[in-house]
Amino acid sequence: MLQGEATPVGLSPNGAVNPFRWKQFFLGMALPILIVASVTALAASVENNRWDNIYHEERLSLSPDENGHYAGPFEIQEGHAMEHCYITTGYSEEQTQIYCDVDYWQNSNNFAIMQEIEYIPTIHSVQLNIEEENGTFSLSFNGSFNSNPYVYGNIYSASGSNLASLGSNDLVRGNTSYLNASFTPQNEPITVYLTADFRGLFENLEVYSCNNVYSYCPNEQENHSLEVSTYVWHPGEKIGEYSPDNGTLWFVPNGTFDPPILLYLETYDEASERQNTFVEEALSASFCCMPLIYIGAIIVAFVRGNKGLGWGLISSSAVSVLLTVALIAYAIASLTSFS
């Protein structure tokens, strides 16, 4: 080396072979696993801290007073803004839902309690008649003259044979609309699936066999039922609100509900979110750089003659794969023994 000649890799300056260093081998094998595990644990800790500090959820259980008014205290934490709110209720006689209207874009912390306006169908059934012994199906209804309904449905035997198909061409329009079908009488019960979709009115008129679909059957027709439903969100009216000035949430619903009514309120701290952004980006960048650093460390170890360290780093990948496979096998075995 003093004369300017390079020393072969793995040899000392006097020509002796460098011994294999097992300490470096085990260090190279364990160090990448410890680094990945540490960064992963740090990322999980940051994420848990993010949810604990940035989002706050509170549940209010409210019961009415003697006048049917619901009210309860609720304080929004300093720096937080209203993010989300939803309500769960018991059965109401009017079947109209209560919901929250939160303007989370404004961060005003003022939100309204709304209730759907009672839904009154514009489609009215006149008669539903199904005679299995004669093989006839007939349906009449009013209120379809504002739109052209899309009709589709089938009548099946209990064994699954298609006895009749019903479509828009089978519908006779008028002040009272009629839909008729005939089928071969069976020695087994029939199943009816029929929908008339009034797209312009956003309503559905449905006929179904209760014994196969529902556990109850209204007195429309024995073993069969007819129902009119809507598939749009009903408009609502304001029945209460929350103002941060007095820290009280109140509302007066229309109709009778089974108490208590549960409100789930979620707030959000944007400042804490920004503080966590740098740490999350740094952790993401470190994960992206780890493969390059790992390959570079292997190359440097062999170039410098640290074969033990180099082979230890290479072995770390194999050990990581084996540990992952063992963990998956353990999880599968645990689930199998549990079931």
pTM tops 0.75: no
**Beta carbons within 8 Å of 262's beta carbon, 6+ residues apart:** 59, 60, 61, 62, 87, 88, 89
More confident residue, 245 or 284: 245
Phi and psi, residue 127, nearest 5°: -160, 140
Give the lowest-confidence range in 27-36, 66-75, 151-160, 172-181: 27-36
Extended strands (E) in 106-254? 111-116, 124-131, 136-142, 150-157, 162-167, 171-172, 176-182, 190-198, 203-209, 224-230, 236-243, 248-251
Q: Is the per-residue pLDDT at 98 higher than 80?
A: yes
In degrees, rounded to 5, the angle at the alpha carbon of residue 75 between the alpha carbons of residues 70 and 78 is 160
**Alpha helices by DSSP H, the chain:** 22-54, 210-213, 270-303, 307-338
Q: Give me the chain's average pLDDT, please.
A: 79
Report residue 163's pLDDT band, with 50, 70 and 90 as the boundaries: very high
Distance of CA 126 to the CA centre of its chain: 40
Residues in the chain: 339
In degrees, rounded to 5, the angle at the alpha carbon of residue 15 between the alpha carbons of residues 9 and 18 is 55
Maximum Cα–Cα distance for the chain, whole Å? 113
Structure tokens at 138: 């007939």
Report residue 218's pLDDT band, with 50, 70 and 90 as the boundaries: low
In this prediction, residues 1-9 reach a mean pLDDT of 47
Please tell me the predicted confidence (pLDDT) of residue 52: 61
> How is residue 187 annotated by DSSP?
S
Domains and CATH numbers, the chain: 22-50+272-338 (no CATH), 64-119+234-259 (no CATH), 124-230 (2.60.40)
In this prediction, residues 206-228 reach a mean pLDDT of 72
Q: Calculate what percentage of the chain has a pLDDT beyond 90.
A: 21
More confident residue, 139 or 53: 139
